[in-house]
């Protein structure tokens, strides 16, 4: 090992090495965290020894077609080191090519090492092609970023599962998948106006005094119960990893550390899985809030309200465009191309500026048949080349200064800033699936906005080169 072909992944885990080893080598634990988010894992065979085999299947959400894989163990040093070859397989355990790539190595050689210090475990996973051709090795090297991104999600699940195991007797855990993109869900948890609309059990309202979502920042709010009782709350954020993780201390004003909360946000296709964990100082404290305050039922009602709120918010539109993904991406991100199609039917685009990087801004104009201009501006929040754009969206003047919708004569309860998420999926044969989610629209403008996007995409299709 140790060549430029190697993919090396490292994670520091807040758990002892013995526990990390156990969840890697015990099928009952492995099925709880291994693989992409939302996939169901089943173990068909497991024999942890030199020459032994792990044979398993993974099934994607809303699918009944399993993908089979296997590990063949070459070195087993308990608690310290595993060496194994991973591969796709059939349902009998035979080795088969990657069904998604004809040039992918047939097997990947992996070395997992675990070292412990101060109660934490450093996990290092090193992988490289096994007996691969030059073309296969190059394909593996080219896909390092994608493989790393996939493992980031898997390791996040491992961290969450380890945390569950470490505090199982004093934790309340709730997991649920919500029908909205992760960027929208994150915004709903970190924006005062949004979280005030849905936070708390059934019948509760909220007054937000302060919300500063950064490490060390405070969220101070009062929950108003249906019987008129007020419940003051104070949160101090410990971790903020947009858009994947929040960790904070929660309690009353002046005493915000009565329990700790972590919230993980994981993409599952166009949906988002939330793992919400409350950890109390003792198991007796946990039992008290369950019995005295109905914490388990209250948490469920809270998430029910959130799910309902999400159904009231936004627009979801899909379109298949007859062009390769790279060309469609360019049409959405290159100002020269945007000016050719941006805006509904009979509208033109008088100007476009794009600063395509995280934190960069854009400015786009639309001019109607009557000459009236509508400008919008925002900031890019997430950019994955040829795959995903997430940006804020506000009405603005021609110089890019945000303005209220009312100044343009647009009635309705428009937010000062909305969030737009666009994904681009390669369908093959020169086609691309574009999915657009626009957060929150006044009801009276929903149909017109759908029509505007639809006719804009019609214009885009006309300027894309024929395939």
The three-state DSSP-derived secondary structure of 40-62 is: EEEEEEECCCCCCEEEEEEECCC
Kindly report, residue by residue over 38-83, the tens digit of the pLDDT.
888 999 999 999 999 999 999 988 788 999 999 999 999 999 999 9
End-to-end CA distance of the chain: 44
Diameter over CA atoms, the chain: 76
- Arithmetic mean of pLDDT over the chain: 91
CATH entry, 7-166, from 3.40.50.720, 3.40.640.10, 3.30.530.20, 3.40.50.880 = 3.30.530.20
Give the pLDDT score at 429.
Answer: 76
pLDDT higher than 90, residue 317 = no
Q: Does residue 309 or residue 383 have the better pLDDT? A: 383
Q: Could you tell me what percent of the chain has a pLDDT over 90?
A: 69
pLDDT at 4 over 70: no
Q: What is the mean pLDDT of residues 443-456?
A: 84
Q: Is the pLDDT of residue 2 over 80?
A: no
Residues 6+ apart with CB under 8 A from 234: 218, 219, 220, 250, 251, 252, 253, 254, 255, 256
pLDDT at 168: 82
pLDDT tens, 244-260?
999 999 999 988 778 99
Element (H, E) at 290: helix 283-293
- Which residue, chain included where needed, has tokens 């029910």? 304
CATH number listed for the domain at residues 168-311: 3.30.530.20
Q: Map out the domains of the chain as residue ranges.
A: 7-166, 168-311, 315-463
Sign of CA dihedral 269, 394, 454, 339: negative
Q: What is the pLDDT of residues 214-241, one digit of tens each?
A: 999 999 998 888 787 889 999 999 999 9
Region 357-375: mean pLDDT is 96
CATH superfamily of 315-463: START domain (3.30.530.20)
pLDDT tens, position by position, 117-142: 998 999 999 999 999 999 999 999 99
Same fold, 7-166 and 168-311: yes
User: What is the pTM (predicted TM-score) of this model?
Assistant: 0.54
pLDDT digits (tens, 9 = 90+) for 89-119: 999 999 999 998 889 999 999 999 999 999 8
What percentage of the chain exceeds 70 in pLDDT?
98
Can you state the angle between helices 144-166 and 17-25, rounded to 10 degrees? 110
Among 360, 420, 367, 372, smallest CA distance to 394 is for 420
Choose the weakest-confidence range: 74-83, 333-342, 364-373, 457-466: 457-466
Question: What is the distance between the alpha carbons of residues 353 and 371, in angstroms, rounded to a whole number?
Answer: 20
pLDDT tens profile 289-313: 999 889 999 999 999 999 988 886 6
pLDDT at 122: 97
Q: In the prediction, which pLDDT does 311 show?
A: 81
pLDDT at 1: 38
pLDDT value of position 350? 97
Question: How much of the chain is helix, strand and coil, in % rounded to 5?
Answer: 30, 40, 30
């Amino acid at each position: 090992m140790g060549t430029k072909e190697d993919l090396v992944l490292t994670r520091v885990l807040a758990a002892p090495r013995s526990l990390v080893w156990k969840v890697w080598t015990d099928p009952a634990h492995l099925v709880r965290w291994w693989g992409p988010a939302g996939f169901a894992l089943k173990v068909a065979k497991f024999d942890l020894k030199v020459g032994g085999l792990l044979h398993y299947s993974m099934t994607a959400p809303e699918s009944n077609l399993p993908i089979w894989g296997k590990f063949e163990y070459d070195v087993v040093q308990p608690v310290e080191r595993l060496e194994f070859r991973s591969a796709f397989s059939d349902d009998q355990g035979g080795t088969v090519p990657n069904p998604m790539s004809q040039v992918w190595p047939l097997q990947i050689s992996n070395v997992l090492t675990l070292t412990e210090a101060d109660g934490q475990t450093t996990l290092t996973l090193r992988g490289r092609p096994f007996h691969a051709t030059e073309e296969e090795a190059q394909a593996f090297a080219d896909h390092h970023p994608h493989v790393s991104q996939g493992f980031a999600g898997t390791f996040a699940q491992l961290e969450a599962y380890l945390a569950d195991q470490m505090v199982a007797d004093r934790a309340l855990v709730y997991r649920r998948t919500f029908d909205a993109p992760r960027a929208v869900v994150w915004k709903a948890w970190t924006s005062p106006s949004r979280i005030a609309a849905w936070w708390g059990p059934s019948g509760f309202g909220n007054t937000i005094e302060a919300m500063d979502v950064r490490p060390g920042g405070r969220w101070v709010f009062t929950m108003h119960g249906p019987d008129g009782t007020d419940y003051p709350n104070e949160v101090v954020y410990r971790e903020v990893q947009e858009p994947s993780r929040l960790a904070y201390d929660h309690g009353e004003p002046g005493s915000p550390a009565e329990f700790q909360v972590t919230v993980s946000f994981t993409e599952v296709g166009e949906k988002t899985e939330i793992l919400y964990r409350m950890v109390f100082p003792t198991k007796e404290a946990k039992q008290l809030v369950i019995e005295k305050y109905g914490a388990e039922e209250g948490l469920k009602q809270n998430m029910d309200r959130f799910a309902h709120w999400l159904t009231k918010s936004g627009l979801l539109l899909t379109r298949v465009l007859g062009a390769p993904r790279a060309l469609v991406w360019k049409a959405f991100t290159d100002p020269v191309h945007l000016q050719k199609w941006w805006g509904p039917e009979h509208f033109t685009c008088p100007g476009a500026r794009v600063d395509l990087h995280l934190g960069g801004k854009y400015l786009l104009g639309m001019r109607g048949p009557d000459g009236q201009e509508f400008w919008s501006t925002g900031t890019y929040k997430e950019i994955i080349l040829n795959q995903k754009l997430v940006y804020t969206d506000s009405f603005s003047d021609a110089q890019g200064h945000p303005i209220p919708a009312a100044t343009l004569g647009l009635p309705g309860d428009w937010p000062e800033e909305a969030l737009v998420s666009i994904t681009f999926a390669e369908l093959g044969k020169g086609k691309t699936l574009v999915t657009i989610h626009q957060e929150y629209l006044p009801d009276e403008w929903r149909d017109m906005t759908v029509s505007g996007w639809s006719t804009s995409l019609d214009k885009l299709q006309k300027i894309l080169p024929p395939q």
